[in-house]
Structures are given as C-alpha cells and as structure tokens.
Amino acid sequence: MFARKIRVEYDSGGRPQPCPLKWLDSFSMRNFTNASVFDDTLPIADGQMEIGRNVPLEQLREKMEDWFRRKSYLPKEATLRVSELSAGERPVTAGNQRGG
C-alpha cells in the first residue's frame, strides 16, 4: 500500500527544512480534501512520508501547502517541496542527515 517514500520540506530563507512530523500528522489525520487518494499517506518522521502508488505528488504538494497555510504552520514567504526518494536513496534520519 505505501510503496513510495517521499521527502516533504519547506524553504524558509533559502534553506530547506524538513516539515515537522506534527504538520504531516495533521494533514494525514484530517482528510479535509474529501479525496480518498490522500488516505494512502503515512507520516514516518520529520520531513518523511510513505505514500501509495496512486497519490499524485503535485496534487499532494498543493493540498498540503494549502492545509499548512490554513493552520498557520507555513510562513507566507515559504514554499513547500515534495520529492520522491529514488530506489537507492535512504530517507534522512538523525544518523544520516545531509549537510547544508
């Protein structure tokens, strides 16, 4: 079901920051879109989610950005980035964070 791993970041002042798990949970737990395609989202850590094969990334980014702005999580000047991790790419964790 959750066949894809994605990274969810927001750009604040030119530096990408992982979206806090709290934000991702808020989006995933509240199906405000009434779109069942977003039922296939599972937050796993700050900036990391697993999603189903049928979840469209651009639509997910748009809906998440809208939700984060409505909740006042995302500053007005910030932009949201959602990217799929390639098969060989490991998710960012506390032990393997990439430098800036």
Q: What is the pLDDT of residues 26-56, one digit of tens each?
A: 888 865 566 677 788 899 999 999 999 988 9
**Rounded distance between C-alpha atoms, residue 29 and residue 45, angstroms:** 15
Q: Which amino acid is at 11?
A: D
Q: What percent of the chain has pLDDT over 90?
A: 53
Say how far apart CA 56 and CA 65 lie, in whole Å: 14
- Which pTM value belongs to this model? 0.79
Lowest-pLDDT range, 21-25, 28-32, 75-79, 80-84?
A: 28-32
Say yes or no to pLDDT of 94 above 90.
Answer: no
